[in-house]
């Protein structure tokens, strides 16, 4: 084609536009973004409402840990089936089914409370079922983003999604605290159920690009073989291998961290349900900034600084949260923690999307999260039980120390690569040496 032809000029103009500018004109992504933003508000409500519900019904930090452990086990089981499904079926339709299933599961709590009063077994059922379908949705969601945007837009896309999730995290906890204080935490979970209807509606209005993943003629392997394809890719890709091992350690340490934090605010510092929601809402301002800065920070400093640098400081912040004797001292540290967590998370997701072939992305994501989720229930049960004996502040302090140690060890791994998405596998092997 003649470079000076109108078609050539139009192609060059399209190429010359920045990833962020092109993303703004992507109708399918913008509808998807809106639906997930509304869904994130419901998730943020449930994030606070569920621990409060358990605390209201049982009054036990150990029981909070057991519910969190059930969530971890459900996520682990979902990871085994979600990846192969995401790589073989229509991803959009599968996400709609997951949304509708989660809507029914979370609606069971307010309906059950209204019909028969508080029932502990329903908490476990809802927590486990919601986590199972949530994991299936999340695995497919990560894969679907690659079918919505161009490769050079994934960090911007994830940054925008995480920013809106962070804004929801400001609104959601405050809303959860208000509803829980005015009615009860069970009513707050009804908001989450409605949010999944919004997500399903937005997905019904978009179309994904044709995905390499959908290969009807490809023979089906067993579940173990399907998952092992993702595991093999993770192991052979040096940066993803390092991230998988580090995040598995982080999961063991922090899966029960939210329960400890809520318990510390309610039990040790004597805060109300509404105050707990407001603390999380204010702290989420850090997540908003993290989502906004993730893409430009990645372009300026590269992956290693954004991920490992954030993780090292994040561990130190957790130590500070454990030592903080008042809400006034804890709040700025929590804002910093949320900022670092989102900055780190956006970069981790983007790297996985950029270096993984599309036809493996579902299985790699499922394997990644399954391995990472496995230590979480054990850690949640351990640290919440430990907190019942030595106190939540000391348990949070120990979690922060362990987090920092793992992050520092990451400096000795291929995760220190500045631009892993541009390195070839042989180059990555050299870095691994």
Task: Report pTM.
Answer: 0.68
Across all residues in the chain, what is the average pLDDT? 81
Look up residue 328 and give its two tokens: 């006034």
What percent of the chain has pLDDT above 70? Answer: 88
pLDDT band at 1 (very low <50, low <70, confident <90, very high): very low
Overall CATH class of domain 25-206+222-432:
mainly alpha
Half-sphere exposure of 369 (CA within 13 A, CB side): 32
Q: How many helices (H) and strands (E) does the chain have?
A: 18, 0
pLDDT digits (tens, 9 = 90+) for 370-383: 888 778 888 888 88
Q: Can you give the pLDDT at residue 225?
A: 64
Q: First vs last Cα of the chain: how many Å apart?
A: 45
Q: Which of 68, 54, 57 is nearest to 382 (CA)?
A: 68
| pLDDT average, residue stretch 235-242 | 91
Question: What pLDDT, on a 0 to 100 scale, did the predictor assign at position 179?
Answer: 80
For the segment 127-185, what is each residue's pLDDT rounded down to a tens digit?
889 889 988 888 888 888 878 888 777 888 888 887 887 787 777 777 777 787 777 78
Confidence of residue 317 (pLDDT cuts 50, 70, 90): very high
- Please report, to the nearest 10 degrees, the dihedral formed by the alpha carbons of residues 127, 131, 132, 138 taken in order: 160
CB neighbours of residue 161 within 10 Å = 21
Confidence of residue 312 (pLDDT cuts 50, 70, 90): very high
Contact 83, 230 (CB under 8 A): yes
Position 310 confidence tier, pLDDT thresholds 50, 70, 90: very high
Phi first, then psi, for residue 140 (nearest 5°) are: -70, -35
* Position 3 pLDDT exceeds 70: no
Token pair listed for 3: 């470079």
Which of the pair, 92 or 221, is modelled with greater confidence? 92
For 191-203, the pLDDT digits (tens) are 888 889 999 999 9
Instruction: Please give the Cα distance from 329 to 267 (Å, whole number).
Output: 17
HSE (CB half, 13 Å, CA atoms) of 158? Answer: 30
């Amino acid at each position: 084609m003649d470079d000076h032809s109108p078609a050539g000029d139009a192609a060059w103009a399209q190429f010359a536009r920045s990833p962020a500018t092109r993303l703004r004109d992507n109708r399918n992504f913008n509808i998807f973004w809106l639906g997930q933003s509304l869904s994130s508000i419901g998730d943020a409500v449930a994030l606070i409402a569920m621990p409060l519900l358990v605390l209201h019904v049982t009054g036990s930090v150990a029981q909070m840990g057991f519910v969190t452990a059930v969530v971890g086990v459900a996520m682990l089981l979902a990871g085994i089936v979600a990846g192969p499904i995401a790589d073989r079926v229509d991803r959009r339709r599968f996400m709609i089914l997951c949304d509708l299933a989660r809507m029914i599961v979370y609606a069971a709590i307010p309906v059950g409370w209204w019909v028969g009063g508080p029932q502990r077994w329903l908490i476990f059922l809802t927590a486990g079922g919601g986590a199972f379908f949530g994991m299936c949705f999340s695995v497919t969601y990560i894969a679907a983003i690659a079918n919505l945007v161009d490769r050079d837009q994934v960090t911007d896309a994830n940054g925008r999604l995480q920013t809106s999730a962070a804004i929801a995290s400001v609104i959601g906890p405050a809303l959860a605290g208000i509803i829980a204080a005015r009615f009860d935490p069970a009513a707050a979970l009804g908001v989450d159920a409605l949010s999944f209807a919004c997500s399903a509606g937005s997905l019904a209005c978009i179309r994904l690009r044709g995905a390499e993943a959908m290969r009807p003629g490809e023979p089906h392997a067993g579940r173990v073989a399907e998952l092992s394809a993702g595991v093999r890719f993770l192991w052979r890709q040096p940066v993803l291998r390092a991230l998988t091992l580090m995040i598995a350690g982080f999961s063991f340490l922090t899966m029960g961290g939210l329960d400890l934090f809520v318990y510390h605010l309610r039990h040790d510092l004597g805060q109300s349900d509404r105050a707990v929601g407001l603390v999380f809402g204010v702290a989420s301002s850090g997540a908003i900034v993290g989502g906004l800065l993730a893409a430009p920070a990645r372009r300026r400093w590269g992956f290693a600084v954004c991920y490992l640098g954030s993780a090292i400081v994040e561990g130190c912040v957790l130590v500070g949260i454990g030592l903080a004797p008042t809400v006034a001292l804890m709040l700025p540290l929590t804002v910093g923690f949320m900022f670092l967590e989102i900055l780190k998370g956006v970069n981790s997701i983007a790297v996985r999307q950029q270096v993984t072939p599309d036809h493996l992305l579902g299985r790699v994501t499922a394997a990644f999260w399954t391995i990472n989720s496995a230590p979480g229930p054990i850690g949640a049960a351990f640290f919440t039980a430990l907190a019942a004996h030595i106190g939540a502040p000391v348990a949070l302090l120990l979690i922060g120390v362990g987090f920092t140690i793992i992050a520092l060890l990451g400096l000795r791994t291929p995760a220190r690569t500045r631009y892993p998405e541009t390195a070839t596998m042989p180059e990555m092997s050299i870095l691994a040496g």
